[in-house]
Structure 1
Amino acid sequence: MIQIAVFSDVHGNLPALEAVLDDMEKRGIHQKFCLGDLVDFAPWGNEVIEKIRDLNIPCLMGNHDERIAFDIPVVPLPKHSEEETIARFIAIDHSKKQITDDHKRFLSELPFHLQLNYKVGAKHWSLQLVHSSLSSNDTYLYESEDDEVFVDMLEESRSDIIVMGHTHLSFKKRIGNQWAINCGSVGRSKEENRLASYLILTLDEEAISPEIIQLHYPVEKTVRQIRESGIPDYYAGFLRNENVSVL
């Protein structure tokens, strides 16, 4: 049996990341993978990057990582309210000013996706990790998508399971003997409970067993630090689920 942990979308929320990593350690899970979006919306972007680097956790390039690394302009998204649009511009500009040049360089060198192959007994399992899809790190794929969307991705990658993040909404979708899974978000969950989320995959010779783990963390510490930083209070209210958009 092999166990691996997959997490995504930390978004500068160090207390949430520490809670997730501590839980993995308690469970004795040593193989960890991050699907990207280390920065934006909470004030510990540099510290999160340092933690990922220090622990040598393989990490993909999320769309926010790419934007900060290459100073890509922010464009409004139709799904966002006017309040969120204004807050988003300010928060991302804050990251562009605060993330160090060394950390921007680290983000710029992250891989776009990653394929893993594990052998358990006589069985080889192929796992495809992406931030959002095979061709983009900014595509929104939800559990409600037609199965064909995920079947195409599984066939293109020749994998038994594809794991993604980006939407901040976790799900497990079994399609025949294959899986499409979203591991949710560590630091900016859009689920009603706002808990820090990650995925454990247990591989044995017969099957892959996925489990979504959701954890409490000291959210008030993050809320307080957001309010003491240059990041808009909108994101503190979001973590408290105070009547703000979840799109």
Structure 2
Amino acid sequence: MIEIAIFSDIHGNLPALKVVVKDIEQRGIDQMYCLGDLVDFAPWGNEVIECIRDLKIPCLLGNHDERLAFNNPIIPIPHHDAEETMQRTKAINHSKDTITEANKKWMSQLPYTIELRYKIKDTFRKVLLVHASTRSNDEYIHVGHDSKDLEGMLTLSGADVIVMGHTHIAYQKEILLGGNDKRLLLNDGSVGRSREADRLASYAILRISEQGITAEIVKLEYPVQEVADAIFKSDIPDFYGNFLLNGNVTV
């Protein structure tokens, strides 16, 4: 059996990343992949990038990474109110000012997708890693997304599994394309800025065997108060520390 660990959306939260990596290592899983969004909203953007680099973890270019790497403009998100739009702008500008040029250059060279092919006896299994969707690194694909569109993405990609992040909400969804052709859509949630009520760090494990492909979503506690306090002491708006502490808020 082949085991793969996949995580994403760290958003500068180094303590949460350390907890996730330690758990993966303790499970003896050698293959780790990151789906991007290393930066913004917590104070350790450079340290997170350097951790991923030092561990040589293959990583995708998330939409937040792309904005910093290429100095793209900050475009407001339609579902954010004026207050959050202002706080988001301050937080992203903080990253633009503090992420080193060397780390920006490294992010600028990250791929948008990673395709993995494994041979199990006489059968090939294809796993496609994306940040948000097969079309874009900033499209939101929630669990209730249009089924026909999901079927189309899986058919066009030829993947047995598409793994994504971006929404900060973990889920797995089986898609039946016809007959016994079952495919899997998997969201690994978020390491450092979960939008789920429990605010736990999450990642996904894929297990590939002769019997097929299964997925597990792992959730872990990390020192949230420590992270929030570090945000409060930094120039990042307190909004993002309060977000982590207030699990009943689903921004």
TM score, norm. by length of structure 1: 0.97
The total of aligned residue pairs comes to 246
Cα deviation for residue 244 of structure 1 reads 4.2
Q: Does the residue aligned with 1:25 lie in a helix, a strand or coil?
A: helix
1:210 corresponds to: 215
1:83 corresponds to: 83
Q: Is the 8 A contact 2:228 2:244 kept in 1?
A: yes
Q: Does the residue aligned with 2:97 lie in a helix, a strand or coil?
A: helix
Counterpart selection for 2:238 from 230, 233, 247:
233
Cα deviation for residue 243 of structure 1 reads 5.7
Aligned-partner residue type, residue 210 of structure 1: A
State how 1:61-76 maps to structure 2 within 5 Å.
Answer: 61-76=61-76
Q: Is the 8 A contact 1:9 1:166 kept in 2?
A: yes
Counterpart selection for 2:198 from 188, 193, 216:
193
2:134 corresponds to: 134
CA distance in 1, matches of 2:57, 2:95: 22
State how 1:139-218 maps to structure 2 within 5 Å.
Answer: 139-176=139-176, 177-218=182-223
Counterpart selection for 1:220 from 218, 225, 248:
225
Aligned-partner residue type, residue 180 of structure 1: L
* CA deviation map 1:136-179 (0-9, x unaligned): 10101100012212111111111101011001011100012110
The sequence identity of aligned pairs, in percent, is 54
Give RMSD over aligned pairs: 1.0
Aligned-partner residue type, residue 241 of structure 1: N
1:95 matched to 2:95? The reply is yes
Unaligned segments of structure 2, at least 5 residues: 177-181
CA distance in 2, matches of 1:208, 1:178: 9
Displaced runs of 4+ in structure 1, greater than 6 A?
Answer: none
1:52 corresponds to: 52
1:106 corresponds to: 106
User: Relative to structure 1, is the Cα distance of residues 204 and 80 closer, same or farther in structure 2, using a 3 angstrom cutoff?
Assistant: same
Unaligned segments of structure 1, at least 5 residues: none
